[in-house]
Amino acid sequence: MSDPLRISRFLARCGIASRRKAEEIVSAGRVRLNGVVTTNLATRINPDEDVVELDGKHLKFDDEKVTLVVNKPRGVLVSRGDPQKRPTVYDILPEEHKALAGRLVYVGRLDYMTEGMLLLTTDGDLANRLTHPSKGVEKEYLAWTSRELTIEECAALEEGVDIGDDTPAPGVIRRIEGPRPLYSVKIHEGRNRQVRRMFETIGVGVARLKRIRIGGLELQRLPTGEWRKLTPKDLALLLKG
């Protein structure tokens, strides 16, 4: 018999959303428990006995937790769908994972033209742990820039520049040797287009941007557009950094 779960955690375990997003869904009155709308976040669910519906659809509780990593190509949206019919990460799921599409939630975003490491998971608790600002999970990017940065510009980026939000956005910047201007950028937040906006503030364009690490887990040699399922060892590395 399954243990009772708070309603937000139940939704997260169904792969609907992270726990924070699930709380918003419940508060909005979109969830019915045994035929009655509930907005009480303290409500507990018995997965073996209770009937839970979201927007009229019966939710099926599944204890299996699956986390996938993809090397997202440029020109692919991190979204459930697109009015312009552009391809999304769900469109490029391999056939063996298509059945999970409705339960997989993406962990953070990459913009349309940014490539690299993206996670999708059915584990709402994991998604919450990786995205909550208090956890400060580090992400590393490679940024191919329009020109070399000065010492002063690197120092400004590391101190934190104003990208139009309430607080400065700091990062750790390191030049990577090679003929073209290429930088490693490490950040602990996940604001919208954060790395690109950081460089924009100092008048530097980013020709190409690729995320190569989340926490302690690296993208390594996963080919562009390819997926793989994370192992317990991978998950331990992911939460390490």
- What residues contact residue 153 under an 8 Å CB cut-off, 6+ apart? 202, 204
pLDDT of residue 189: 85
Phi/psi for 120 (5° steps) reads -125, 140
**Domains of the chain and any CATH numbers:** 5-58 (3.10.290.10), 67-133+217-238 (3.30.70.580), 138-214 (3.30.2350.10)
Catalytic residue numbers, as ranges: 111
Contact 69, 33 (CB under 8 A): no
pLDDT for position 61: 76
pTM (predicted TM-score): 0.76
Whole-number Å distance between alpha carbons of 181 and 84: 34
The answer to whether the Cα torsion of 58, 59, 61, 67 is positive or negative is: positive
pLDDT digit string (tens) for 157-174? 999 999 988 788 899 999
Dump pLDDT digits (tens) for 37-71.
999 999 999 988 999 999 999 987 766 789 999 99
**Residue 210: pLDDT over 90:** yes
Residue 117: in which H helix or E strand, if any? Answer: strand 115-121
Q: Could you tell me the two tokens for 174?
A: 């390191």
CB 220 within 8 A of CB 176: no
Which are the contacts of 231, defined by CB distance < 8 A and separation ≥ 6?
none
H helix runs in the chain, sequence order: 7-13, 19-27, 124-131, 151-159, 194-201, 232-238
Dist. CA 121–CA 152, nearest whole Å: 40
